[in-house]
Structure 1
Amino acid sequence: MNVWEATQARLQVVFRDFDNVILAFSGGKDSGVMYNAAIAYMREHNITKKITVLHLDYEGQYAATTDYVTEVMTSNLDIVDPVWICLPFAAACEVSMYQDHWKPWDPDKRDLWVRDLPDVPGVIHTGNVPEGFPAYDGVWDYTVQQQIAGWLHRRSGAERTAVLVGIRTQESHHRYAALHRKDRAEASMLDGRNWTSKKGDGVFNVYPIFDWVTEDIWTANATFGWSYNKLYDLFHLAGVPINDMRVASPFRGEGQESLKLYRVIEPETWAKLVGRVNGANFTAIYGGTSAMGAKDIKLPAGHTWKTYANFLLSTIEDDEIRAGYLRKFRTSARYWTVKGGALPKDAADELRASAPEGTEFLGEPADNRKRRVPYEVVRFRRYPDDISGVSDFSLIPTYKRLVITILRFDHSCKYMGFGQTKYEMTKRSAAVEKYREIL
């Protein structure tokens, strides 16, 4: 069975076992294929009950993305109910030291909006929010999407709702681990299917294309003649490799590499982005340099990486952002010096030659997680300042890695191996007061 046949089998389960279907549509290549595959299945099997296509609009994006979203949200309306969200939810901001999030469509910033509200059916904005709609102002985007899915589930009166999400495990180790963990509870899946995940009472996220690779996406588009976001054509002309093409909010970490392309592809949009969020221009210019933790970052004279990390933290004026870094660092320190962290066996073998005194190599992990390659648990006596000799530096816990995380404005600490939480920065003054003791 190839991935297309497997997806057809999964869609059969979806339309058989769920009485309400929502499709999360971002405007990118994966959600585009998910949309086209679902519509094709419905047409082939004469399914006439509408599905909801849910789109969270991040305001700041390429015109090509807006054009594609508009095409999708105004097509197939005999079997599609479009829900286009243009509300001031919180979106991650990794281009600024001063803010960990920004709010698209913030009515207080209307004069700075990158573009006008879309004028098509299905758009929900601050002027027409339906009764009973969940809280959204300043609420993180992932939380908003889940809450809207729950609201749509209740509104439909359905017994069971499937939220089709076009994500692929090739894109993220966290996604792979989340779907393949052997210790996942049966109650968190539908009938033991690892491509389903229960998110609420009667609501499941479903990942029908989780095992596709990038080449499968473009093979499907070419084979079936499906429409897609033409921004990818512009990326191709700009020399961006297919595995590096991202359609994401430009202020997220995933969108930083394409941020500089706005200046060439859409200079008018670029000018508005610069005025919309502090730090956009700086990141576009220096995002690939040592100024933001890339390439060969140099340690300032008279500093260790630990003292340099302390210095950088002292320059962050926002208490919540500083506390967020410290909270993640404290978790990392406890993990690697108390419990011990799992490294790929190849990295652990490289580490043996340069590991600090007292480092323990504790053998295979005792958990039941399914891993692609062999792993070994390593425990440090104290958190390392820096370690050389390991090919993938980002795998090893060091103060240098913390410095790079801060320089990249990586508020969710993905570079340190953390998955993003729904709301990273909460008010915890105790952590702020004690941060010098933690380091």
Structure 2
Amino acid sequence: NRFVAIASLNKQRFADDKPWTTAAPGGHSWYIYPIYDWKVADIWTWYANHQQLCNPLYNIMYQAGVPLRHMRICEPFGPEQRQGLWLYHVIEPDRWAAMCARVSGVKSGGIYAGHDNHFYGHRKILKPEHLDWQEYALLLLDSMPEKTAEHYRNKIAIYLHWYQKKGVEVPQTQHGDIGAKDIPSWRRICKVLLNNDYWCRALSFSPTKAKNYQRYNERIKGKRQEWGILCNND
């Protein structure tokens, strides 16, 4: 929290009359936050009063109806950033055309990623009525490129086996199972797949080191056969 860093009485400052400075670990450099208490409106008020130049992209975003608090200039494909994909075809149509040509799924992301709907499993999820959540998860896996599907099968198999060892059968749904807390269910697994949560952080995994990834995949694929979980794509 930036305010806590500023207000701390225990930190090392550059000078006593500069509380908005904080020594970096090691004491050889400094973090400086001279406008730490400014809100977004304060920053733009200052620009207006002093007639200073700013990135013209902010003006275009304002004309497109983006609230000040939601304006940001960043790479487009992060979990939060992709919710602003729709802006590209409004404010930078040439760049949007290039993105659509180079990156799969950009157009659907521009349509759906910024909405509170079930397409990406942000806050609510729907499934086909004739399937239960486990069947829907398997359907999603079968719809993916095989390499991607195998990656997810390995993660999900470890997840299921961990609960299996504890004598817990992962249910179809549980209360609160698609929230921040890892409450096991097949609906939560579907959320991971719909979110494209590649490293399955929502299932309490962390990324595998690149140098170990191939060997890890082969080992877990063998374990799936041993466990009888998600083997032969079942």
2:73 counterpart (223, 247, 257): 247
With over 3 angstroms needed to count, the CA separation of the structure-2 counterparts of 1:431 and 1:417, relative to structure 1, is: closer
Q: Is 1:314 the equivalent of 2:105?
A: no
State the shift of 1:386 in Å.
Answer: 1.1
Separation (CA, whole Å) in 1 of partners of 2:186 and 2:211 = 21
Mapped contact 2:171–2:185 kept (Cα < 8 A): yes
2:218 counterpart (387, 412, 429): 429
Deviates more, 1:307-316 or 1:239-248: 239-248
Separation (CA, whole Å) in 1 of partners of 2:199 and 2:169 = 23
Mapped contact 1:412–1:424 kept (Cα < 8 A): no
Deviations 1:158-192 (A, max 9, x none): xxxxxxxxxxxxxxxxxxxxxxxxxxxxxxxxxxx
Number of the residue aligned with 1:400: 187
Deviations 1:200-245 (A, max 9, x none): xxxxxxxxx9xx79x6466467569797655445444444455544
1:274 counterpart (84, 87, 100): 100
The structure with the greater share of residues assigned to strand is: 1
Mapped contact 1:326–1:431 kept (Cα < 8 A): no
- List gaps (5 residues or longer) in structure 1: 22-33, 41-208, 340-379
Number of the residue aligned with 1:329: 156
Separation (CA, whole Å) in 1 of partners of 2:53 and 2:203 = 37
Number of the residue aligned with 1:18: 28
State the shift of 1:410 in Å.
Answer: 2.6
State the shift of 1:277 in Å.
Answer: 1.0
State the shift of 1:17 in Å.
Answer: 2.1
- List gaps (5 residues or longer) in structure 2: 8-12
Mapped contact 2:154–2:221 kept (Cα < 8 A): no
Task: Give the counterpart letter for 2:156 in structure 1.
Answer: F
Task: Give the counterpart letter for 1:326 in structure 2.
Answer: R
Number of the residue aligned with 1:384: 171
Q: Is 1:438 the equivalent of 2:233?
A: no
| Sequence identity percentage | 25
Separation (CA, whole Å) in 2 of partners of 1:228 and 1:422 = 40
List aligned pairs for 1:361-376, cutoff 5 A.
Answer: none
State the shift of 1:301 in Å.
Answer: 4.1
Number of the residue aligned with 1:303: 131
Number of the residue aligned with 1:150: none
Separation (CA, whole Å) in 1 of partners of 2:58 and 2:211 = 31
State the shift of 1:303 in Å.
Answer: 2.2
Separation (CA, whole Å) in 2 of partners of 1:317 and 1:14 = 45
Separation (CA, whole Å) in 2 of partners of 1:228 and 1:15 = 33
List aligned pairs for 1:96-107, cutoff 5 A.
Answer: none
List aligned pairs for 1:96-175, cutoff 5 A.
Answer: none
State the shift of 1:424 in Å.
Answer: 10
Mapped contact 1:247–1:255 kept (Cα < 8 A): no
Secondary structure of the 1:303 match is coil
Number of the residue aligned with 2:10: none
State the shift of 1:422 in Å.
Answer: 6.4
Separation (CA, whole Å) in 1 of partners of 2:4 and 2:40 = 10
Separation (CA, whole Å) in 2 of partners of 1:240 and 1:398 = 37
Separation (CA, whole Å) in 2 of partners of 1:410 and 1:9 = 40
With over 3 angstroms needed to count, the CA separation of the structure-2 counterparts of 1:393 and 1:18, relative to structure 1, is: closer
- The two structures have a TM-score, normalised by structure 1, of 0.38
Task: Give the counterpart letter for 1:407 in structure 2.
Answer: L
Task: Give the counterpart letter for 2:100 in structure 1.
Answer: V
Q: Is 1:264 the equivalent of 2:51?
A: no
State the shift of 1:250 in Å.
Answer: 1.4
Task: Give the counterpart letter for 1:329 in structure 2.
Answer: I
State the shift of 1:5 in Å.
Answer: 4.4
Separation (CA, whole Å) in 2 of partners of 1:407 and 1:387 = 18
Task: Give the counterpart letter for 1:310 in structure 2.
Answer: L
Task: Give the counterpart letter for 1:403 in structure 2.
Answer: C
Separation (CA, whole Å) in 1 of partners of 2:206 and 2:71 = 21
Secondary structure of the 2:141 match is helix
Mapped contact 1:292–1:407 kept (Cα < 8 A): yes
Deviations 1:309-343 (A, max 9, x none): 12221232242x2343234434544666768xxxx
The alignment covers a number of residue pairs equal to: 210
Structure scoring higher RCO (CA < 8 A, sep ≥ 6) equals 1
The structure with the greater share of residues assigned to helix is: 2
Task: Give the counterpart letter for 1:426 in structure 2.
Answer: Y
Mapped contact 2:177–2:184 kept (Cα < 8 A): no
- The two structures have a TM-score, normalised by structure 2, of 0.64
State the shift of 1:420 in Å.
Answer: 5.6
